[in-house]
A and B are shown apart, each in its own frame.
Chain A
């Protein structure tokens, strides 16, 4: 089975690394922003790493970068054809979750970041509609989501 694992930088990618044991025996492609600090990321559990174009951190540059990244995601999804798409956030997951669900019918699994213990992230509500499984790391978040949201434990 092919798993596309998606994470932004910082705590998001640290959480994604922690989850790699869950994909043992499957082929994992890790997609993250193409930041220079991530270019030496190596892990024997990852078959391949892909750097995703990022226009900027916020505002118009982030919006433009997101639009351009749609084409990169389409290429990546067409080439890799994942059976499952997993992400620990943040906004980097929005485009591939919708594209992967609509065009590939891939299972989309989102893990709300551990830093959100009382209120949802900005990304969570935007990917929830296309998720086949949606995990939160704090039971206090369940009331903010629908019935597919589930607390099954936490990384921290």
Chain B
């Protein structure tokens, strides 16, 4: 199963939902879309509105790959459950969000793991989804990230009032 998520943003992200719905019959597995506040009825996909935190985590655990808006939440959930991720950042120029924070996120993470790929042009999406499926087939996982461990150690030291570790 491929999980598509557009988060809780009030602005529509029809560009992503329509593209996933159109390609779904060719992907060879079910596509479930979390559509948030957007009333969207897919012909080839199963659309869900708001999902609770727990239900979302269970869906992520079950899916084989994630196609998500360019949010930190999508990246962290994909990493947490070891799922290949295709990020499609919302574009403020198209009225999909209020500023360029998703473009900033996507730009920052696009080369950080073999498990993540960023798509800016929706015409490139199907090929990226197929590569994500291939990564799931191959059983690839995320690489260990020492930057994350160092940040957590620094936060712990700050919370406990200790000297921060060297960068």
Contacts and interface: CB of A to CB of B under 8 A. Distances in A.
Interface of A: 1, 3, 9-11, 13-15, 17-19, 21-24, 26, 36-42, 57, 84, 86, 107, 109, 111, 113-118, 132-133, 135, 137-138, 150-156
A116 B101 contact: yes
Contacts of A10: 7-8, 71, 73
Interface stretch (B22-30, B51-59, B125-133): B51-59
Contacts of A155: 72, 76, 148, 151
The secondary-structure label for the interface of chain B is helix
B52 A15 contact: no
Interface in B47-100: 50-55, 71-73, 75-77, 79-80
B150 interface: yes
Given A37-B8, A40-B55, A156 B105 contact: yes
A156 B71 contact: no
B79 to A, nearest CB: 8
Nearest 4 interchain pairs by C-beta: A153-B151, A11-B72, A133-B158, A152-B154
Contacts of A133: 154-155, 158, 164
A156 B115 CA distance: 12
Contacts of B105: 114-115, 117, 156
